[in-house]
Amino acid sequence: MTTLVYLIPAALFLGALGLFGFLWALRSGQYEDLHGAAERILIDRDDKPER
C-alpha cells in the first residue's frame, strides 16, 4: 500500500509531462505538414550530395 503513495504521483507526473510535450508539439507546428514527409521519402533524387 505504501508503494502506491509513490507510484500514483509518479504516474500523474509522467502523464502530465507527456501531455505538456504533446501540447508543445501542437503549438510549435510539428503536425502542420503530415503529407510532406510521407511524400518526400518517395521522391527519387539522382543528384548526389557534394563533398
In 1-51, where does DSSP find H-type helix? 2-27, 34-40
Grade residue 42 by pLDDT with cuts at 50, 70 and 90: confident
Which one-letter amino acid corresponds to residue 41?
I
pLDDT of 32 > 90? The answer is no
Grade residue 6 by pLDDT with cuts at 50, 70 and 90: very high
Determine contact, residues 25/31, Cβ cutoff 8 Å. yes
Distance CA 18, CA 24 (A): 10
Predicted TM-score (pTM) of the model is: 0.62
Distance CA 14, CA 18 (A): 6
